[in-house]
Homo-oligomer: A and B are copies of this chain.
């Protein structure tokens, strides 16, 4: 029996492909085993258990998100950067709905996710710093921003906005609300 040449990263790759195609429900070790051409118990050589696999997936997704947001806000500042962040966040969710759903709501709580989560948070705080927000005010603002963006993304991805009105229009309203109501007035 030739080796399959698997590795932890390979397992995560297969798991992500599975999630992308069939949703988080479909993430089972036996499905991953089939996809990697290996017997289920063999996966335990690369991953401690399914819970650790989920953690690794969450890490990946958060890293992707951090990269995406990071490059989107690069070269921008102030409200413009906030809008860029909001757009790219929603776009990721819409383009990878199941992957987005695999993003943990409380990464900082889990030691294994704290680092990746912290990096993402850092990007958000940097954007807010560019709007003149620091310290406690920045934290409160970041929470509201995150609540709005994440709430919209979750609901859109789940099909929670059932009525026929245009979603882009709704989101533009959210962007405007955030920029006008949440950020400090610009006085340059």
- Which residues does A use to contact B, with CB under 8 Å? 105-106, 108-109, 136, 139-141, 143-144, 146-152, 154-155, 158-163, 165, 169-170, 173-174, 176-178, 180-182
30 contacts between A and B (CB under 8 A): A105-B159, A105-B160, A106-B155, A106-B159, A108-B162, A108-B163, A109-B162, A136-B165, A139-B165, A140-B165, A140-B170, A140-B173, A141-B173, A143-B165, A144-B174, A146-B151, A146-B155, A146-B160, A147-B149, A147-B174, A148-B148, A148-B151, A150-B151, A151-B151, A151-B154, A176-B181, A177-B177, A178-B181, A180-B180, A181-B181
CB pair B158 A105 closer than 8 Å: yes
CB pair B162 A152 closer than 8 Å: no
CB pair A147 B148 closer than 8 Å: yes
Q: Which residues does chain B contribute within 8 Å of A150, judged by CB atoms?
A: 151, 154-155
Q: Specify how many copies of this chain sit in the oligomer.
A: 2
CB pair A152 B147 closer than 8 Å: yes
Q: Which residues does chain B contribute within 8 Å of A109, judged by CB atoms?
A: 159, 162
Of the listed residues A159, A160, A162, the one surrounded by the most CB atoms of chain B closer than 10 A to its CB is A160
Complex Cα–Cα for A157 and B154 (A): 15
Q: Which residues does chain B contribute within 8 Å of A181, judged by CB atoms?
A: 176-178, 180-182
Complex Cα–Cα for A174 and B178 (A): 9
Complex Cα–Cα for A174 and B170 (A): 18
Closest Cβ–Cβ distance, residue A123 to chain B (whole Å): 15
Closest Cβ–Cβ distance, residue A27 to chain B (whole Å): 15
Complex Cα–Cα for A140 and B170 (A): 5
Complex Cα–Cα for A26 and B148 (A): 29
Q: Which residues does chain B contribute within 8 Å of A169, judged by CB atoms?
A: 140
A148-B148, A150-B155, A180-B181 as given contacts; A143 in contact with B162, CB under 8 Å = no
